[in-house]
Structure 1
Amino acid sequence: MNGRNILFIMLLCILTTNTQKTTAQALKALMARQTGIIEGKAEQNSRKETCCNFYNNDWCDYYLCCRNDKAYNLHPGKNTLFVAPDKSKIYNPAKEEFQYRYYRGIFPKKFNIETPYALPVKNGVRTAWRTDRHETKKTLCFKIEKEDTVYATRGGILCKIPSSRFILIYHPDHTFAAYIGIRDKFVKPGDDVRTGQAIGIAGQDNISISFFFLDKNKFEASADMGYPYSHFVPTFRTDRGDVRPVERKFYRVVTDDALIMQDMSKKEQKKYLKHK
Structure 2
Amino acid sequence: MKIRLLLFIFSFVLLSHSLYSQQHTRGVLFTSERNNKGEIIIVAENRDFCDYFVKIEFRDLMDYTVRGNITKGETVSRGKKIIATLTKSNPNSRSTYNYSTRIYKGSLDSKVNPDFIYTLPVKDGDSIQSLPAKGSRFTTIFNLEQAGDTIYACRGGQVCDKDLTDTETRSASQKNSITIYHNDGSLGEYTNYSKELVSVGDNVKMGQPIAIVKPNEKGQKRVRFSVYFLDKNRVENNETGLKHSSLVPIFHSANNGDGKLENKTTYIAQITEELLMQDMSKKELKKYLKNKEKEADKK
TM-score interval (norm. to shorter): 0.7 to 0.9
AA aligned to 1:122 is K
2:245 pairs with 1:230: yes
Choose which of 24, 27, 30 in structure 2 pairs with 1:37.
27
2:246 pairs with 1:215: no
AA aligned to 2:262 is V
Indicate the residue corresponding to 1:92 in structure 2: 96
AA aligned to 1:81 is I
Indicate the residue corresponding to 1:141 in structure 2: 141
Whether the 8 Å CA contact 2:124–2:269 is kept in 1: the answer is yes
2:272 pairs with 1:245: no
Q: Deviations over 1:131-159 (max 9, x none)?
A: 322x6573110011497000000000000
AA aligned to 1:257 is E
Matches within 5 A, 1:250-269: 250-269=266-285
Whether the 8 Å CA contact 1:147–1:201 is kept in 2: the answer is no
**Between Structure 1 and Structure 2, how many residues are aligned?**
245
Choose which of 58, 75, 84 in structure 2 pairs with 1:73.
75
Matches within 5 A, 1:68-217: 70=71, 71-84=73-86, 91-94=95-98, 99-107=100-108, 109-133=110-134, 138-145=138-145, 148-162=149-163, 164-204=175-215, 205-217=221-233
Q: Deviations over 1:177-206 (max 9, x none)?
A: 110012211111100001111111014411
* Percent of matched pairs sharing the same residue: 31
AA aligned to 2:107 is I
Indicate the residue corresponding to 1:10 in structure 2: none
> 1:63 deviation in Å?
1.4
Alpha-carbon RMSD across the aligned residues, in angstroms, is: 3.2
Question: Judging changes above 3 Å, is the alpha-carbon distance between structure 1 residues 48 and 257 closer, same or farther for their aligned structure 2 residues?
Answer: farther
CA distance in 2, matches of 1:212, 1:102: 16
TM-score (norm 2): 0.71
Q: Which one has a larger percent helix, Structure 1 or Structure 2?
A: 2
Q: Which has the larger radius of gyration?
A: 2
AA aligned to 1:78 is K
TM-score (norm 1): 0.77
Farther off after superposition, 84-93 or 105-114: 84-93
CA distance in 1, matches of 2:153, 2:261: 17
